[in-house]
Amino acid sequence: MFKLAHISDVHLGPLPNLTFRELASKRITGYVNWHRNRRKHLFANALDLVIEGIREQAPDHLAITGDLVNLASGIEIRLAAEWLRRTGAPLDTSVVPGNHDAYVPGAHDKAVQAWYDYLRGDDDPLIWKEGYKLFPYIRRRGPVAMIGCSTSIATPPFSATGYFSARQARETVELLKAAGEEGLFRVVMIHHPPIRGAAASHKRMIGIRRFAAAISMGGAELVLHGHTHLNTLYWLDSHGKRVPVVGISSASQGPGAHKPAAGFNLFSISGKPGEWQMKWDRYGLFDAVTKLRHEHHQMLIG
């Protein structure tokens, strides 16, 4: 049995001191929003408890679907790289970026370079190359293929949209088909929910139809996303089968807010092609000082 844990929207805090030059951009709106709203509900202790809970379950792999930082400043990106190294080894942890990781122009590439060991696919260069089209990537781990897609782009103030390009859709189909031919259980990671209506219009994913077509044509067993800070389950169609699309709350969300408290998904995968089985368990934070509790169990496949 292969155990896969999933978290998203880490939003590492607290927000560091930023220079006037760094704030002279879209970051000023995010900076104000942080101090007015986010810092009231995002707690480092929540993230610590989530990671502790994951370690108790001893998963074979950890998927992180974006938004490791808040304003994508240089110091945030470096601190996120340090946090990743403390959290897990690159071979055991797969990351895709989110909209906050590309908060301003140029931030996306800086984040990808700093976190490259956690985003590099099996067939990608050992060292980051500027301008290299990294996404989608594929990482084969035991019976599972982790396929990472990116919707991470810089957007204007008061916008948090994502973009899934036609090129990425074509290459995702190729990776999905190849992984299927290898007899692997295919898990697709993406930040924005690839479901129409799952996010507000100013936070939606552009390219939802392209993504759905890629899943339909290439085939997949599971799609993981973040962005909404909600615990959700949707479905996409592929070759007459339903593919579960699972979201998770922010890994730093404290209890008592209007969004669900921090937690993680745990998927237990067994079987073989044509006879796959997958159990889904979700663990969530009950209060700010205790361990997580088991909240949900469901057989998604089999």
pLDDT band with cut points at 50, 70 and 90 for residue 20: very low
Whether the pLDDT of residue 31 is over 50: the answer is no
Name the strands in the sheet holding 137-141, side by side, starting at the edge strand that comes first in the sequence.
Answer: 137-141, 144-148, 185-189, 222-224, 241-246, 233-238
CB 172 within 8 A of CB 218: yes
Distance CA 259, CA 249 (A): 8
Q: Which residue has the higher pLDDT, 205 or 286?
A: 205
Segment 191-210 shows an average pLDDT of 97
CB 295 within 8 A of CB 282: yes
- Least-confidence region, from 10-14, 104-108, 134-138, 241-245: 10-14
Q: Which CATH class is domain 2-301?
A: alpha beta
pLDDT band with cut points at 50, 70 and 90 for residue 281: very high
Q: Specify the DSSP element, H or E, that contains 94.
A: strand 93-96
pLDDT band with cut points at 50, 70 and 90 for residue 279: very high
Q: What is the DSSP letter of 77?
A: H
Model pTM? Answer: 0.92
Q: What are the helix and strand counts (H, E) for the chain?
A: 8, 14
β-strand pairing of 61-65 with 277-285: unpaired
All structural domains of the chain with their residue ranges:
2-301
pLDDT band with cut points at 50, 70 and 90 for residue 21: low
State the burial class of residue 82 (Cβ atoms within 10 Å of its Cβ: 0-12, 13-18, 19+). Answer: exposed
- CA–chain centroid gap for 97, Å, is 7
- CA–chain centroid gap for 222, Å, is 13
pLDDT at 37: 58
Whether the pLDDT of residue 101 is over 90: the answer is yes
pLDDT at 132: 84
Whether the pLDDT of residue 36 is over 80: the answer is no
End-to-end CA distance of the chain: 14
Percent of the chain past pLDDT 70, that is, above it, reads: 89
* Range ranked top by mean pLDDT from 10-19, 69-78, 224-233, 282-291: 224-233
Distance CA 294, CA 290 (A): 13
- Least-confidence region, from 25-39, 96-110, 196-210, 213-227: 25-39
Distance CA 282, CA 82 (A): 27
Q: Which residue has the tokens 């089999």?
A: 302
